[in-house]
Amino acid sequence: MAVLATRQRAVVRRIQRLAYVDPVVHLPNVRALNRALRDAPWSALCYLHIPGMEMLVKNYGIMLRIQYKQKLSHWLSPLLEPGEDVYQLSGNDLALRLNTESHQERITALDSHLKQFRFFWDGMPMQPQIGVSYC
């Protein structure tokens, strides 16, 4: 009976942990962003919008969007401090939660780092524009 209870607790913990990750893109989701904002209410939020992605997705499929978001989040991760993360939003958008220490300089650095991002889809370079806004 103790083994079943222990296994059940492990399953519940795993389900709770998976509730904070998008199952398709494998990035933290909006629920994880809400939890991060609850834990660190003084944060800067960055909104990354990719307006040209919709037409590319219509032509090349949804896997392009998924891989683009995954590669973009991995590209940004070296610039993020501990506790900061890239969050999956629906559609063509991503969100960043930054700590408030020198956030304006860091957003400028992130923007210049984003301009250097290169994405290749089946050997073909794709460079949709990325808009950055923050509050």
Name the domain count of the chain.
1
Alpha-helical segments (H) within the chain? 2-18, 30-39, 53-60, 62-76, 103-115
**Mean of the per-residue pLDDT values of the chain:** 89
CATH number where 31 lies: 3.30.70.270
Report the percent of the chain where pLDDT is more than 70.
Answer: 100
pLDDT band at 17 (very low <50, low <70, confident <90, very high): confident
Asked whether residue 38 carries a pLDDT value surpassing 90, the answer given is yes
Q: Which domain holds residue 91?
A: 2-134
- What separation in angstroms does the CA of 23 have from each of 17, 19, 27, 90? 12, 9, 8, 12
Query: Mean pLDDT over residues 40-61, rounded?
Result: 91
3-state secondary structure of 50: coil
Query: Mean pLDDT over residues 94-106, rounded?
Result: 89
Asked whether residue 94 carries a pLDDT value surpassing 90, the answer given is yes
Report the percent of the chain where pLDDT is more than 90.
Answer: 54
